[in-house]
Structure 1
Amino acid sequence: MPQAFYETLAKIAYQKNLHRRIAGTVRRLAEELKVPEIGGLNIADVSTLIEDLIDVHLHNIQERERFQESRNRALFLPHCARKYMDSRCQARFDAEIPSYYCARCSPDCLINKAVTLGQNKGYDVYILPGGTCIPQILERNPYDGVVGIACSQELKQAKEFLKNKDLPAQAVFLTKNGCAETKFSLQTLEEIL
């Protein structure tokens, strides 16, 4: 089947909210696969995480065409993915923007690599302490497309805000959550960008 068929199917499923309707099946599948024992999460958390992953993926498919038509784009990175969260990180925070500015002090830092990738592709890059900074940045800058990397909670908040602004967005899920030492896939980010 052509890729367009699957994209159309995903868009319809997303519009009908089908991914939310399968929560019971997801819980049963998680129990059968012993995901709570393996991952250390309870069934409700596993179910929510899987629903959120599906939601982000379907949203990316739904918004991809509109996003690709955009030209003036921003990339929002989570500050918690910096290699160091102490004085070893030389990033400078500007409260006016609000964003950190990478000083490129660690070549192996995930944020350093993502900043380079985003800038090389023509994005304005922001390293945010949280999703609440996004409205302030978007008020000052007329972006017509954004990419964000975050945990599911931050992505949900940003999605609602961006939906109200009718701004096409793409999202990259963190592969390791937390408030420090978080991770994401550079390969996934490059594909999205």
Structure 2
Amino acid sequence: MQIPYELLGKIFIFVAFAALLVLLIALLLGLYSFKNHKILFPNFVLFILYLFYGPSKWICRVFGIKDTLVDEILVEVRNAVMLDQFREIKNGRVVFLPQCLRHPNCKARCDPLIGYECKLCGLCDIGTICKAANERGFEVYVIPGGSFVKKIIKAHRPESCIGVACYPELAESMQGASPFMVVQGVSLLQDGCYNTRVDVDEVIRKMEECDDV
């Protein structure tokens, strides 16, 4: 039996074109939602952009757009989708902070199960966030890496979390954590391996969302 290569080629081109069209629609919907703070078809946007994560970034680069826009859309759309659930949860609330927020002279000890234990020395913003979290019923974990998040989820089974990281890490982590808890993300203002910054007021505002219900 002769294989109809010409027909298969046409089918492949059609499928590729259809996938590209769907991806462009998802990107445009996500961009509109991100810019106007009005979420349209969020589940569709999340599914398509995660499914075609690499191609989405490639399209952004082709059009001269920073490819982190894909991550920004994914984070902000998921924030909007889960916000109402997040507000309703009153117990088992945690904040995950990256260890790169620590001051270079930080003396905190790294516990093998829960990460760095902040001493509230005042050298960095972690102490400010810890104090605000304690007043609002949130537990703070300063983690060296993603493996600690898995340990904490397994050991303490939190119901909701606020995650702080750069946009690419947030997009990946929120996708991984969302089946186990309600998530909200706050991006770093300045990322890197150390001496990073976050909008502390934004983190606290996220905590206060739960007080408005």
Please report the TM-score for the alignment, with normalisation by the length of structure 2: 0.69
Q: Decide whether the 8 Å contact of 2:174 with 2:185 is kept in 1.
A: no
2:76 aligned to which of 29, 53, 57? 57
Out of 91, 101, 107, which is 2:117 matched to? 101
Residue 75 (str. 1) matches residue 103 (str. 2): no
Identity of aligned residues (%): 26
State the alpha-carbon separation in 2 of the partners of residues 141 and 98 from structure 1: 10
What RMSD, in angstroms, separates the aligned Cα atoms of the two structures?
2.5
Aligned length: 165
The superposition leaves residues 106-138 of structure 1 with CA deviations (integer Å, 9 ceiling, x where unpaired) of: x24111111122222110110000122111101
Matched, 1:152 2:180: no
**CA drift at 1:149:** 0.4
Q: Which has the larger radius of gyration?
A: 2
Conserved? CA contact 1:146–1:170, under 8 Å: yes
**Residue 181 of structure 1: aligned partner:** 195
Q: Secondary structure at the match of 2:158?
A: coil
TM-score normalised over the length of structure 1: 0.75
Moved over 3 A (4+): 18-29
1:39 matched residue in structure 2 = none
CA–CA separation in structure 2 for the residues paired with 1:24 and 1:127: 33
Question: Take 1:108 and 1:136, find their aligned partners in 2: how far apart are those partners?
Answer: 27
CA distance in 2, matches of 1:114, 1:121: 11
SS in 2 for 1:143: coil
| In structure 1, distance between residues paired with 2:136 and 2:118 | 17
Q: In structure 2, do the counterparts of structure 1 residues 23 and 134 end up closer, same or farther at CA, with 3 Å as the change threshold?
A: closer
More moved, 107-116 vs 125-134 = 107-116
Partner amino acid, structure 2, of 1:172: V
Q: How does 1:9-158 map to 2 (within 5 A)?
A: 9-10=38-39, 12-17=40-45, 20=49, 27=61, 31=64, 46-47=66-67, 49-72=68-91, 73-84=93-104, 88-95=105-112, 97-105=113-121, 107-158=122-173
CA contact (8 A) 1:146 1:168 kept: yes
